[in-house]
Structure 1
Amino acid sequence: MLHSTSLRLALGYAALFIASSLLLVGLLWWNTTGYLDRETDAVIAADTRAIGDRLSDFGLAGAIQTMNERVEAESADGKAIYLLTDPRLRPLGGNVDAWPLKVGPAPGWYEVDLVYRGKLHATRLLHVVLPGNYQLLVGRDVQERVAIRNLFLRSLIWVGAIVVGLALLGGWLLRRGVQSRIESINRTATAIVQGDLARRVPAGPGNDEFDQLVVTINRMLDQIQQLIEGVRNVSNAIAHDLRTPMAEVRARLEGLLRRAEGSEANLDEIAAAIAGIDRLIGVFNALLRLAEIDSGLRRAGFGKVDLAALVADTAELYGPAAEARGLGFTLDTAPGLVADGDPSLLAQALGNLLDNAIKYTPAGGSIRLGLVRDGANGAAIVVADTGPGLTDEERARATDRFYRGDSSRSAADGVGLGLSLVAAIAKLHGGELRLEDSLLGQTPPGLRAALALPAPAC
């Protein structure tokens, strides 16, 4: 899932939003609670210096007097804490009855819970050692500050939860917006791959980067369509123009052949010329059929096709031809498999595969025709033979138009358009043509051609 660009953008946006919000809240925390802490520490430190100075100037009595004056001055709010003891920690003055157990012998800052005036209070204390080894403890009741801190922390948790929620919501909205635009481009590209060259990416209402990209893509598609239509029109015109005179020449030669006049050699030459012309006309018909398939026009005739019935009918047609060449022919189908498609095109594709298998399998070999499940709900029509098979290099180019492997050049006539036509039909149906070793346990390995078709739409 992390391979999705829109998801990474959404997560990045959410992370940036959360980080910036936490930074803002952190600064607010530092400026509020930090300010209160610094203010409290400054007051405690000032009182500690004042009492220490009185001890140095006026002795112990002056220090105790100063401390008691400060206790009386701040008795109204009761937040000040003072305790002066002798070296053995016996109280000499202040508003605390005894030295707190949680305050250790080492001088420094302490935050302890202290009971005074009958209540437990959170306090911040400064322990200093005065001349004469007198122990001085000065502090402030910070219970309210602790309450403020707790309130702030609870608020921070709520704010953090809201920030995370808003970040995730914003990230989801961002991902949805980006994904919808990308999906629009993807649907258009898929339609064009299937042959609908007139499809264009719908433009949005604004003029953002995606809209500018859409305009550029549509201009590119217009140019590509013009080029393809130009090439297709020229190819179709050439095929039509050449097929007509070829048909006329064939008709004349066939007429001469029927008259049975002339020498036997002349008649053989006429028959060979007719066969060659038939071969050329077949090439033109195949090219025109490929152009029609590539254009996607044949999708108009799509419907539900019973693949088991189609395979059985084709086997009935090609089975006798295989037996006439001394080949074993077996049929194995799985019932109940259907596909969305053009039955005549699928029959033609299967016929091409069987025709190749019959032509290239030597006498005494075998051909196996099967219909199997492919994936979760798809189907595959499989033709396996014990012929010479294809090398890895030949498989990579087997569906190229007019390509013929070494074995096909020497074994039978052909022009290299049969598998090209099957691959084009498979692509039109949203499937693919797979070429593998037949794995029937013989050497050479033979060929297994599988016409894989996707599950029908609901």
Structure 2
Amino acid sequence: MSYVRLSEIPRTTSFRTALLFLALFGCSFFALFGYIYWQTTGYLLAEVDTALYHEVERQSAQAPALRHQEMLEHAAQDPEGRHPQGLFDASGNPLAGAIRQLPASGADDKPAEFIWDKSHGHDRPIRYLLRRLDDGGTLLLGQDIHDIREFDELLVNALISGGSLLLLVGLLGAIALGLSARRRLEVLSRSIRKIVEGDLSGRLPTRGNNDDIDRIAEVVNGMLDALERLMSEVKGVCDDIAHDLRTPLTRLIAGLERAQRRSLSPQACGATIDTALGEAKGLMQTFSALLRISEIEGSARRSHFTPVDFNQIAADAVELFEPLAQERGIGLAFHPSADACRLLGDAQLLFDATCNLLDNAIKFSPEQSTVTVSISTREQHCTLSIRDQGPGIPEAEREAVLRRLYRGESSRHTPGNGLGLSMVSAVARLHEMRLQISDAHPGCQVQLSGALQGA
């Protein structure tokens, strides 16, 4: 571990958060321990004071002779001076008891403390209570509180040692958390640097514990997936534009050049202009479709989402394409869902996507075949399924057909610009729907599935 890495640990959020919680926990610990110390010490001294008050009340009510005799007996029974007593006359001279001198300070009936200097042993802390008697004498009752003071010292030492251990363990834990966070951030930084340098296939590593960094990494990885897909589409679009738009542009330029070189009749010149206009309009339609797909992918319409009925959208699309299907001798069957199928989305975009799928299905279906459109609901999802009996889409091309302007070899000579499925894919991403292409044996089946409203 290098010094540089150690110096970077205090700058990590994990280390600072751990220190913050250590400070909060430390303050709570000391506050709790201090409260326990205060309550325990107060309780023990209160018990001593209560016992002293009871004993003072009892002895002060006795006859002087009996009090004197009892104190002499107590001194003989308590040689260690655990509960020392003293009886003094009006001048302060000792009459009986182990305590032979009045404390220098002390008020009547108020507990106080003094250090009792015993000639046969060590100095002892004594908590005592004074009472002025009716004959002018003074009664002093005390109790050795050495054990209470030792207990207090034990509590304070436990507080200091426990607090020191808490701070040490907390600091080591904060360093460990900071080091772990720093190492993880270094791994993420290396991954990001590789991605910035051009490796768009790289992804941020995750631990699988769904913590904050994992969730951020998953979001970033999703963004990188979309970025990689868009970059791939841009490259594919550039290649497809160069390949597919070159032919109509070549025809347009060639027709205009022939018209320029030749002396054409007005009828032939008009036909050439009509042909050029047709080619130009086709190019404009292609670019308009590209711009519309870009608008959809930019989520410009997400703010206009409303509840829509997928059954009704599919029914409208089937009704629109039914004449075209009949003209080509193709049957068009529609099976709506028996349950409500309401989605949150843009009705016009979903209708256009359904129309594109139906147009492709009819376009590639042979005569006397059937195109089946069905709506189903399952597990809080609504699915539009369009099935034809055409040549189908090879499995190797099912991802490629979603690119803009991509056209498979089998569809090169059919009308179209290769943007229909691209538009459907963009609508599906905007609505967070799943677009799936599979074999229908024979033909192709395309499914568009999204979550029901409120799911």
Q: Which range, TM-score by smaller chain?
A: 0.3 to 0.5
